[in-house]
């Protein structure tokens, strides 16, 4: 079902007396392309970095002059300087989380904002300015946080608004957080997701080697099909 073409399906049945019957059917798998009028925009977003593959990703983005948005963490502190490089290269940076530990950050509103501020301080140190963009770990409607504090996401979303912060979810997911480890599948997931959309916010993780390895051909496909890449503005 993933690859276009004409296929022959063969059905073969037999019963306990050894009677057999065979039937064939031809199936055509076609690419479902919905026509989109006007500008088609893709916001590539990378969560959970920076990490060992971020530098390589920055090189690929640069090669095509594509700008992306990074929602950063402090999970791998030795790559902190990548945050400065991201901003210098014209990408947008937002807070994802300092620790990225759901159990800690979603224990209370105060715990969330304390984690947020720690990450924002690191970004400030790297780039000279605080951020106004954020992405909640798990997204603004995640259900995991319920295990730690019922109703916390709604309250955090309201508080973010009140602080003048913009939180961003996604409408396309590349499947790289457990569903696949194949660059080809990541590429296919993104293409399938952006097709037929005027505005795609694509969730990816730059801490996965296979995601970074999928980017070259993903970007080439999108550019060849008339998509424009933009950074999220607060
Ligand atoms: Zn994350």
> How confident is the prediction along the chain (234 residues), in pLDDT tens digits per residue?
777 888 999 999 999 999 999 999 998 887 655 667 788 999 999 999 999 999 999 999 999 999 999 999 999 999 999 999 999 999 999 999 999 999 999 999 999 999 999 999 999 999 999 999 999 999 999 989 999 999 999 999 999 999 999 999 999 999 999 999 999 999 999 999 999 899 999 999 999 999 999 999 999 999 999 999 999 986
| Contacts of 176 by beta carbon, 8 Å cutoff, 6+ apart | 186, 204, 205, 208, 210, 211
> CB of 120 within 8 A of CB of 130?
yes
Distance 36 CA to ligand 1 centre (A): 31
Distance 48 CA to ligand 1 centre (A): 5
Distance 88 CA to ligand 1 centre (A): 23
Which pTM was predicted? Answer: 0.85
CA 52 to chain centre: 17
Distance 8 CA to ligand 1 centre (A): 42
Distance 10 CA to ligand 1 centre (A): 44
Distance 135 CA to ligand 1 centre (A): 8
Distance 34 CA to ligand 1 centre (A): 31
> CB of 150 within 8 A of CB of 108?
no
pLDDT of residue 37: 74
| Contacts of 225 by beta carbon, 8 Å cutoff, 6+ apart | none
């Amino acid at each position: 079902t993933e690859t276009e073409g004409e296929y022959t399906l063969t059905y073969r049945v037999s019963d306990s007396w050894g009677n057999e019957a065979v039937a064939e059917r031809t199936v055509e798998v076609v690419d479902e392309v919905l026509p989109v009028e006007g500008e088609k925009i893709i916001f590539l977003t990378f969560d959970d970095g920076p990490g060992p593959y971020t530098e390589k990703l920055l090189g690929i983005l640069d090669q095509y002059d594509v700008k992306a948005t990074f929602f950063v963490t402090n999970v791998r502190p030795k790559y902190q300087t990548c945050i400065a490089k991201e901003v210098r290269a014209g990408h947008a940076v937002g807070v994802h989380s300092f620790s990225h530990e759901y159990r800690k950050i979603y224990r209370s509103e105060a715990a969330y904002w304390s984690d947020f501020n720690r990450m924002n301080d690191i970004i400030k140190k790297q780039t000279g300015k605080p951020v106004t963009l954020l992405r909640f770990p798990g997204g603004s409607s995640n259900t995991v946080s319920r295990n730690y504090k019922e109703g916390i996401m709604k309250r955090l979303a309201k508080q973010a608004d009140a602080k003048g912060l913009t939180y961003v979810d996604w409408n396309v997911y590349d499947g790289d957080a457990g569903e696949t480890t194949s660059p080809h599948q990541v590429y296919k997931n993104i293409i399938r997701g952006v097709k037929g959309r005027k505005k795609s916010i694509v969730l990816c993780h730059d801490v996965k080697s296979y995601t970074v390895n999928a980017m070259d051909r993903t970007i080439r496909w999108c550019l060849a099909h008339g998509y424009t890449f933009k950074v999220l503005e607060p």
